[in-house]
Copies of this chain bind each other. A is one copy, B any other.
Amino acid sequence: MNKSLDCIFRPRSLAVIGASSTRLKIGREILHNLIDYEFNGKIFPVNPKEGVIHSMKAYASVLDIPDPVDTAIIVVPKEKVAGVAEQCGQKGVKGLVVISAGFREVGGQGVALEEELLGIVKKYGMRMVGPNCFGVVNTDPNVRLNATFGKARPKPGNLSFISQSGGLGEAILNFAGSLNLGFSMFCSVGNKADISGNDLLHYWKDDPATDMILMYIENVGNPRKFITIAREVTRTKPVAAVKSGRTVQGAKAASSHTGALAGMDVGVDALFAQCGVMRTTTIEELYDIAMALSHQPVPKGNRVAVVTNAGGPGIVATDALIGHGLQLPPLPDEVVNRLRSFLPEEVSLHNPLDLVAGARGPEFTMALEAVCAGDWYDTIVPIFVQPITIDEIDVAQAIINAKQKSAKPFLVSFMGVGFRSRGMEMLMEAGMPVFIFPEAIGKALATIEDYREYRDKLQAHPDVYPTYPVSKSAVEQIIARYQTAGKKHIVGQDAVDILRAYGISVAPYAIAAEWDEVRRAAAEAGYPVVMKLHTPEILHKTEAKAVRVDIRNEAELRANYDDLKQRIGPLPAGERFSVALQQMLSGGVETVIGMTNDPAFGPLIMFGLGGVYVEIMKDVTFRITPLSEGRAEEMITGLKSYPLLSGFRGSKPADIEILKETLLRLSQLVGDHTVFAEIDINPFIVSHDRARCKAVDARFILK
């Protein structure tokens, strides 16, 4: 059992430093909430100006408290926080929750204040939540800690929640309450000066009261540590997150808000995909998933049965489910036979199963039990719309009964009398996920299904991080040479040599200047050839018409050579016209393999199909290094244009293994040498013939 943060979440005695008896002051609200929530331990208000607060003796300083103090909640003005923290250290306090704001998030002097505070925390070996946070909650009946300053009274339950926005704290707790969702613990992490989201994930991994973890985050402090911890957690507990600052402009707002560098969105997607964290775009969706999973297992697959008493909502649900990639297999004969004798003649026995408006409790029970009986469906979606002649309580009870007899997850759409009908409340009280309209069910299930696939795949093929025999020192020597010369761009032969040192095959090429050399080099490479301008280095050679492909004979070579030379015209002194000649690798597919450094996430490997697919269709995948075999494979199969590699219109499938290996070798290169800012292998040609799978051009940029 991991007790690392018990000093925050399981105190037996608390000091509230900055407690107050003035209404609408945070120091009063915090104290009030602690008492109102019946904290199961001693509370000591601290305020040098008030002798009694809320009928409790108030102390002038934490040092005046006669008993030991486990945790201090600090709400004094920012400039007093460091002094108070120092006293806490002297007193032997183990945990601080610093609500006070005005630190790193405001920049300038605030940054220094935060560093001073953190120094004191470290000096005394304390742990700290915040500063600039909304507080913490632990609903354990042995603890009953509600150290927040909102009006929400969190319900006990099995969810734990990390929020990086204090402002959203109250709304998050309120909204959960309205959905009947309960919490084990809640932590508004604020500026994360000491305790981070990673610390909480690690702590909650072993918390028996936490079955699922939800997060609202604006940045990830240590992405590689996050991957490691989250991967452990998601083996047994679902984790779902809203990461805001998704767009470039949103990220800008995020970084001025939290003072933290927020990454590009592809980095976040890659991060979450690599550790099985379910990403939602909205807080509503986060709770949709929480409703689905907090009292039910993850569905075993993607087969859904819809049982409805109205056609319209059945169609809406089918649209949403199919549209999100789920399956609605037809009813098996066994189910059809069982229902035929029981249901009225006008019921047509399909999936969605429309019981028509006359369906009461017994019809719902019968139909739900029938579809649950065998291994035909993984999730059941009962839909009820109130016809005036039917008792909704009766149907709600039937759904609850059917669910209790089955291990399959149910997601219910229930539209009873009135906006929040009694039947709906009954279902929610029974712990069932209830949606008003059925559309949200499709989206939630699809996100959960991705998590299931991730988990199943990981179980079948544990992550393997291969290491290839390479020549690390050869690359070090090349890099050193460029660094000494103060150059940042590595192209040409040096780029080829780097790839070769890491076992990545490259199409050989020759540099030639005079016509005779060119002619000889082309003959040696073997027609058809590609001829590129070699010097001076021109970006986007295609635009400058400086790349000539598919030259089939000497006559064509001569014409192209002359034309290119003429187009380039006179060169600056010291530069000499020359071309690179390469055999043309025909019949393959052009791919692009690259690496970019995300300011927050570090090196990301990129893969896509060449040219238009990358630049216009934006059909690329990213993963954070180091890559495992499974992740490398996902990068390839995850492309929309993947069918072009797997055999399109009778062409032979490309050698996917060599592609995978190339991605893994690049990941190894990036891990061994942290000096690269960007890498472009463009194009890397693949075909069914491994001997013809080769990089054609590459460029490295040093940091």
A residues neighboring B (CB under 8 Å): 24-26, 29, 101-102, 105-106, 149-151, 164-168, 170-171, 174-175, 177-178, 216, 218, 242, 244-250, 253-254, 256-258, 281-284, 309-316, 318-320, 322-323, 328, 346, 348, 350, 352, 354, 357, 385-389, 415, 417-419, 436-437, 439-440, 540, 542-543, 552, 612, 615-617, 619, 640-641, 643-644, 648-650
The answer to whether A246 and B311 touch across the interface, beta carbons within 8 angstroms, is no
The answer to whether A388 and B29 touch across the interface, beta carbons within 8 angstroms, is yes
The answer to whether A218 and B315 touch across the interface, beta carbons within 8 angstroms, is yes
Whole-angstrom distance from the CB of A35 to the nearest CB of chain B?
16
Bound CA–CA A385/B134 (angstroms): 12
Bound CA–CA A175/B439 (angstroms): 15
Bound CA–CA A352/B174 (angstroms): 25
The answer to whether A312 and B165 touch across the interface, beta carbons within 8 angstroms, is yes
With contact pairs A178-B419, A245-B319 given, residues A167 and B328 touching in the complex (Cβ less than 8 Å):
no
Whole-angstrom distance from the CB of A426 to the nearest CB of chain B?
17
When distances are taken between beta carbons in the complex, the residues of chain B under 8 Å from A617 are 617, 619, 640-641
When distances are taken between beta carbons in the complex, the residues of chain B under 8 Å from A166 are 310, 312
Give the contacting residue for A312; candidates B178, B216, B311, B415; CB below 8 A: B216
Give the contacting residue for A165; candidates B311, B318, B616; CB below 8 A: B311
Whole-angstrom distance from the CB of A420 to the nearest CB of chain B?
8
* Chain B, Cβ-Cβ closest to A258: B311
Give the contacting residue for A170; candidates B29, B105, B175, B385; CB below 8 A: B385
Bound CA–CA A415/B258 (angstroms): 21
Sorted nearest first, the 7 A-B pairs with minimum C-beta distance are A165-B312, A167-B310, A257-B311, A250-B319, A171-B415, A247-B322, A178-B419
- Listed residue (A258, A437, A542) with the most chain B CB atoms within 10 angstroms of its CB: A437
When distances are taken between beta carbons in the complex, the residues of chain B under 8 Å from A257 are 311-312, 314-315, 354
Give the contacting residue for A26; candidates B25, B350, B389; CB below 8 A: B389
Whole-angstrom distance from the CB of A103 to the nearest CB of chain B?
11
The answer to whether B315 and A253 touch across the interface, beta carbons within 8 angstroms, is yes
The answer to whether A281 and B151 touch across the interface, beta carbons within 8 angstroms, is no
Bound CA–CA A245/B248 (angstroms): 36
The answer to whether B256 and A348 touch across the interface, beta carbons within 8 angstroms, is yes
The answer to whether A386 and B150 touch across the interface, beta carbons within 8 angstroms, is yes
The answer to whether A171 and B436 touch across the interface, beta carbons within 8 angstroms, is yes
Whole-angstrom distance from the CB of A688 to the nearest CB of chain B?
16
The answer to whether B283 and A612 touch across the interface, beta carbons within 8 angstroms, is no
Contacts A170-B386, A246-B319, A617-B619 supplied; 14 other A-B pairs, CB < 8 Å: A26-B389, A29-B388, A166-B312, A167-B387, A168-B312, A178-B419, A244-B316, A245-B319, A247-B319, A249-B322, A250-B319, A253-B350, A282-B316, A283-B316
The answer to whether A165 and B619 touch across the interface, beta carbons within 8 angstroms, is no
* Chain B, Cβ-Cβ closest to A245: B315
Bound CA–CA A150/B280 (angstroms): 36
When distances are taken between beta carbons in the complex, the residues of chain B under 8 Å from A177 are 419
Whole-angstrom distance from the CB of A104 to the nearest CB of chain B?
12
Bound CA–CA A487/B679 (angstroms): 58
Whole-angstrom distance from the CB of A419 to the nearest CB of chain B?
4
Whole-angstrom distance from the CB of A239 to the nearest CB of chain B?
19
With contact pairs A247-B319, A250-B322 given, residues A643 and B616 touching in the complex (Cβ less than 8 Å):
yes
Bound CA–CA A425/B312 (angstroms): 31
When distances are taken between beta carbons in the complex, the residues of chain B under 8 Å from A437 are 171, 175, 282-284
When distances are taken between beta carbons in the complex, the residues of chain B under 8 Å from A248 are 322
The answer to whether B106 and A346 touch across the interface, beta carbons within 8 angstroms, is yes
With contact pairs A319-B245, A385-B171 given, residues A151 and B417 touching in the complex (Cβ less than 8 Å):
yes
The answer to whether A418 and B174 touch across the interface, beta carbons within 8 angstroms, is yes
The answer to whether B322 and A165 touch across the interface, beta carbons within 8 angstroms, is no
When distances are taken between beta carbons in the complex, the residues of chain B under 8 Å from A328 are 249
- Listed residue (A284, A316, A640, A643) with the most chain B CB atoms within 10 angstroms of its CB: A316
- The 7 sampled A-B contact pairs (Cβ below 8 Å) are A165-B310, A167-B387, A216-B312, A242-B316, A254-B315, A281-B320, A283-B439
The answer to whether B168 and A24 touch across the interface, beta carbons within 8 angstroms, is no
When distances are taken between beta carbons in the complex, the residues of chain B under 8 Å from A165 are 310-313
Bound CA–CA A322/B247 (angstroms): 7
Bound CA–CA A436/B315 (angstroms): 28
- Listed residue (A250, A417, A440) with the most chain B CB atoms within 10 angstroms of its CB: A250
When distances are taken between beta carbons in the complex, the residues of chain B under 8 Å from A167 are 309-313, 357, 385, 387
The answer to whether A244 and B315 touch across the interface, beta carbons within 8 angstroms, is yes
The answer to whether B312 and A174 touch across the interface, beta carbons within 8 angstroms, is no
The answer to whether B164 and A312 touch across the interface, beta carbons within 8 angstroms, is yes
Bound CA–CA A385/B149 (angstroms): 13
Bound CA–CA A23/B248 (angstroms): 60
When distances are taken between beta carbons in the complex, the residues of chain B under 8 Å from A174 are 415, 417-419
Bound CA–CA A323/B247 (angstroms): 6
When distances are taken between beta carbons in the complex, the residues of chain B under 8 Å from A102 are 346
The answer to whether B312 and A26 touch across the interface, beta carbons within 8 angstroms, is no
Bound CA–CA A224/B313 (angstroms): 27
Whole-angstrom distance from the CB of A152 to the nearest CB of chain B?
8
When distances are taken between beta carbons in the complex, the residues of chain B under 8 Å from A247 are 318-319, 322-323
With contact pairs A167-B311, A171-B415, A311-B257 given, residues A389 and B25 touching in the complex (Cβ less than 8 Å):
yes
Give the contacting residue for A311; candidates B150, B253, B309, B316; CB below 8 A: B253
The answer to whether B354 and A313 touch across the interface, beta carbons within 8 angstroms, is no
The answer to whether A323 and B388 touch across the interface, beta carbons within 8 angstroms, is no
Whole-angstrom distance from the CB of A413 to the nearest CB of chain B?
10
Whole-angstrom distance from the CB of A416 to the nearest CB of chain B?
9
Give the contacting residue for A318; candidates B249, B354, B385, B650; CB below 8 A: B249
